[in-house]
Structure 1
C-alpha cells in the first residue's frame, strides 16, 4: 500500500492528528509574540534633547509671551507637555514635527528640540515622554535622531535571521528530521529570547534577537511540514489554516500583554520564558512517518503508524506493507536529476518561477511592513495592534471559500485590494487618522489573505521534480521581503509617504503578473518541467486557433 492509502485507512484527521495539531499550534502563539514584540519594545516616544547651556520655552507660558529658562543641570526639571511642544531634530536639518499625545501616539516620531544650532549631538541627554512606555530599547540606548537608523537596522538583522533560519534549518530538517529541529528551535528560542531581556548593550540585544529569528523559521516551517505529512490530502488545507489562526491569536494577545507590561525588558521576558514549558514536547511530539520511510527507517515508521491507528480507533493488521524502497528511490532519483537552475532554464518555467518568487517577496514585504509599523496610522498603538490581529481571522477564513473556485483570481483580487488600500492612505490627511487606519486595516486584510493563498498556489504551480526547490526559493524570497520591510521606513527621511507608496504599488504589480500564471484549482498537478512547457504551448496554440 502507498502511504496515503494507509493514512486514509487509519484516518486522515483522527484523534492522533488532532492531538498533533494541538502541539503544533500552541507554539504559534509565542512565534507571533516574538515576531511583533519590537512594535512595543522598539517604540520611539516623543523626546526632547536637554542642552546644558540652552534656555527652554515652557509651553504653559508661551501664550503669555514669557520665556522662563531651565536647564538639565537644575535639580528640578519642569514637566513638559509633549503634545504641545514643537520638536526639531538636528539631524533633519531643523525640520520640525508636532509631537503626539497619548491619545494620538506616533511611534515613528523622530523630533528633538536642541538649542544653539543643529549639531546633531545631544550633550545634555534625552528627555522622553513616559506616559505610554515606561521604557523601550530606544529610551534605554537613546536610539533617536542620528542613531534612529540603528532601530531599523536591528529589525532588519532580526528579519534576516528568518532568512538564515529558513536555509539552515530546512537543510538540517531533511537530514535529522522535522521533530528534532522543532525541539531544537523551541529550546534556542526560549534561551536566547530570555537572554535578550538581560542584554547589556544594543548590539548584544540585536545578536540575540537574530538567533531568535532563525528559530522562528525552524519552528514554523517544520511544524507545518510535520502536520502536513501526517494529514490526509482532503484535510491539509483546513489543517494549515488552523495553525494560522493560532498565530493570529498570538497577534491579539500581544496587544493585551504589551498594554499591561510597559517595560521592554519585562515584556521580552514575559514572551520568552513560557517557551521553556515546551520541554515536554520531547515526550509527546511524534516524528514524521513519511520522513522515516524516506530515510529507510521502515520499522520505526510502521511502529508509529500502528500507534496512530490505535489512537484513532482504527487498528491495522500486522501484515500491512508499504510501498517503500522502489517508489521512494524513483522519486528521489528524479529529483536529484534537477537543480534550482531548472526553475529558470526553460521559457515557461522561468516565467512562472520568477512571478511566484515575486509574489512571495511582495506578500511578506507588505505584510510585515504594515504589521511592524502600526504606530504610523495615528491612533492608539495598542488598539491598532488588537484590530490588526482581529483582521487576520476573517482574512484567513475567506480563502477557504475562494480557493476552490480559482487560485489565480483569488490571488489577484486580494493583492489588488491590499495594494489599493495601502495606496489610498497617502491621500488621507493626518487629522483623519481613523480613516487612514481603516484603509490600512483593509490593506492588511487583503495582504493576509493573499499570503495564505500563495502557500497553496505555489505548491501547485511547480512540477513535482522541482516542487521542493521552488517552494524553498519562494520561502527565501519571502524572508528577503521581511528583512527589507524595516529598511523601507528609512525612506521616510526623504518623503513620509514613500513607504506606503511602495506598499501600494508592489502588490498591484503582483496582481497584474498573476494573470500570467496558470489556473490550478481542481487541476491535475504537473510532474515534470516538460508538462509545464507543453501546457504553455497548448495555450498558445489555442489562442492562435481562436484568432484565426
Structure 2
C-alpha cells in the first residue's frame, strides 16, 4: 500500500495551481490569489509575465507586460492546496518541467532498483533484498517531509524509486515460489489489491491534508511496523533448493508442515529429479549464477524476453500516465483519482476469478485493446460537448482495463521464465517498464499541460494496440503449467509436451 502511495504522491505534492506574478511591495504571504482589480487588469494567460513600472520608462516605449519571468515572486491560489512543493520551490512558468524531472527521478530509481534487486535477489536471496528495500523506503519517505532543497527532494524521490521493485516485485516472486500452479493468481491479485487500496488512501489523505509535508509524514513513517516481518517471514524455499541449501529449506518446510498438519519424507532432497535426457545435471546448473545476457542466449528465451521488454513499458506508461493526470478527461482530481483506485478492485476480482479459466493471454490482450479503444473514443468525443459522467466512465474503463493488464502480467511473466533466471528476468522487465513511466511523467506533467491531451491519448492508444497483438499472437499460454526450473526445460522440455503449442 505504501509503495503505491509513494509512487503517485507527487500528483498531490506538486499539483496544478493557479498563480500570478507578485506585485511590487505586495506581501509574500498574501492570502488571496487574485483580487478584483488585479483580475481585471491581468489576463490569466499572462500569469508568467512580470509587471513593468511606468516610472522606469516612457509610455511609448513601455509595454504593458515584459517577457521576463516574475522577478518579485509569485502569488498562489491556496483555496484548494494550503502548501505544496509548487509553493515552496516555485515550480511554475519556466520551471514547470521540473515537475516532470522530479517524478521521473522516482522511475529512474525504479530502473536502478530493478537491476540491483533483480540480480542480487537471485544471488543473495529474496528476504535480504526485501528488507534492505524496506529500510530504504522508510528513510527516504520520512525524510522527504524535511527536505529544504528541490535537488535533495528529487534525490529522496530517486531512493524511494530504488526501493519500489525490491518491495513489490520480490514480494510477488516469493509468494509465487511458495504456492502451486492453481494458486499462482493469488500473489499478483493480492499485491494489486494492496496497490489499489494504497491509491485510494492516498487520494483520501491528500484530500484532508493539503500541506505536502504532512502528507509525506503520513505515508512515510507507518512502514516502520513492517520491519517486524523479518522475524516472521522465511526465505523462499524454492530459491534455497536451487542453491543446494537443503538444511535451511528443510527447516522452513517442517515449520509449514507443522502448521498445515501434513507430512514430508525425510531427506526429501535426495528424491529430486536431477538429470536431464542428455545426462547433464540440473542441480549443478541451478547453482550457477545467471546474468542478464543469458536471457538472450536461446531462441525461445530471447523471444519471450524481447516481447516482455516491450509490453512492460507500455502498461507502465498508460497506468502511471492516467494515474498521474486523473483529470485529463475532466472532473475533480481528488474524486477522479479515488474513483480510479476503486475501479481497480473490480478489475482485480475479474482477473482473480477468470485468469485460471480463460487464461492469461485473453486478459492481457483484451486489457491492452480495450484501453486503447476507450482512449480513441475519448479523443473523438473531445470535439463535442459531452457530459462529465461520460468522461468519468471512459477514465474508469481505461483504469480498470490497464489494471487487468498490470495484474495479469505480474502472474504471466514469471511463468514464462525458469527459476534460475526468473528474478533477473522480472528485474529487467521492471527496468524497461520504468522507461514507460518516465515518459509518462513528461507526458502528464509537461506535454499535456503545454500542448493538450492529444499528445497523451494517441501515442498511448497506438502502443497499447501493438502490445495487445504481440501477446495474442506471439506468446504461449501458461495457465495450469508447472513453473520451469532451468533454461534447458524451456528449450527442450516443451518439445515433450503440447501444453505450450504457440511456441512450437
> How high is the TM-score relative to the length of structure 2?
0.83
1:447 counterpart = 2:394? no
- How far 1:90 moved relative to its partner? 6.8
8 A contact 1:408–1:515 mirrored in 2 = yes
C-alpha distance in structure 2 between counterparts of 1:349 and 1:332, whole Å: 20
> Is the CA contact 1:428–1:435 (under 8 Å) kept in the aligned structure 2?
no
Query: Structure 1 CA distance, aligned partners of 2:35 and 2:381?
Result: 27
Farther off after superposition, 378-387 or 343-352 = 343-352
Q: Which residue of 2 aligns with 1:376?
A: 328
Contact 1:228 1:236 in 2 (8 A): yes
Q: What CA deviation, in whole Å up to 9, does each residue of 1:262-292 have, x standing for no partner?
A: 1000110110111112232232222222223
Indicate conservation of the 8 Å contact 1:408/1:517, yes or no. no
Greater CA drift, 238-247 or 521-530: 521-530
Indicate which of 369, 375, 390 corresponds to 1:435: 390
Q: How does 1:150-189 map onto structure 2 within 5 Å?
A: 150-189=98-137
From 5, 9, 20, give the equivalent of 1:48: 20
Task: Determine the structure 1 residue equivalent to 2:490.
Answer: 528
Q: Which moved more, 1:433-442 or 1:515-524?
A: 515-524
Instruction: For 1:160 and 1:223, locate their aligned partners in 2 and report how far apart those are by CA, in whole Å.
Output: 21
Farther-moved stretch of structure 1 (345-354 vs 202-211): 345-354
2:174 matched to which residue of 1? Answer: 226
- Asked whether the equivalents of residues 90 and 121 of structure 1 are also in contact (C-alpha less than 8 Å), the reply is no
- CA distance, structure 1, for counterparts of residue 8 and residue 307 of structure 2: 28
Secondary structure of the equivalent of 1:48?
strand
Q: Equivalent residue for 1:80?
A: 34
Q: 1:278 to 1:208 in 2, by over 3 A?
A: same
TM superposition shift of 1:455: 2.5
Question: 412, 416, 432: which is aligned to 1:457?
Answer: 412
Residues 86, 388 of structure 1: alpha-carbon distance in 2 compared, 3 angstrom cutoff = farther
Is 1:488–2:443 an aligned residue pair? yes
- Cα distance per residue 1:124-158 (max 9 Å; x no partner): 21111111110110111100010010111100011
User: After the TM superposition, which residues 16-415 of structure 1 pair with which residues of structure 2 at under 5 Å, given as runs?
Assistant: 29-52=1-24, 72=26, 80=34, 86-89=43-46, 116-316=64-264, 319-323=266-270, 327=274, 330-331=282-283, 333=285, 340-341=292-293, 343-344=295-296, 350-403=302-355, 404-415=357-368
Asked if the contact 2:141/2:156 (under 8 Å) is kept, the reply is yes
In structure 2, the CA distance between the partners of 1:481 and 1:335, relative to structure 1 (3 Å rule), is farther
Distance 1:244 1:341 in 2: 30
The verdict on how the C-alpha distance between 1:87 and 1:423 changes in structure 2, with shifts beyond 3 A counting, is same
Q: Indicate yes or no: 2:467 matched with 1:514.
A: no
Query: 1:503, 1:314 → 2: CA distance?
Result: 50
Aligned residues: 473
Q: Is the 8 A contact 1:459 1:467 kept in 2?
A: yes
- TM-score normalised by structure 1 residue count: 0.77
Residues 518 and 315 (structure 1), Cα distance of their counterparts in 2 relative to 1, 3 Å cut: closer
Residue 250 of structure 1 deviates from its aligned partner by 1.2
Structure 2: gaps of 5 or more residues: 51-62, 276-280
Are the aligned partners of 1:407 and 1:519 in contact in 2 as well (CA < 8 Å)? no
- Distance in 2, matches of 1:76 and 1:487, equals 31
The alpha-carbon deviation at position 242 of structure 1 amounts to 1.8
SS in structure 1 opposite 2:44? strand
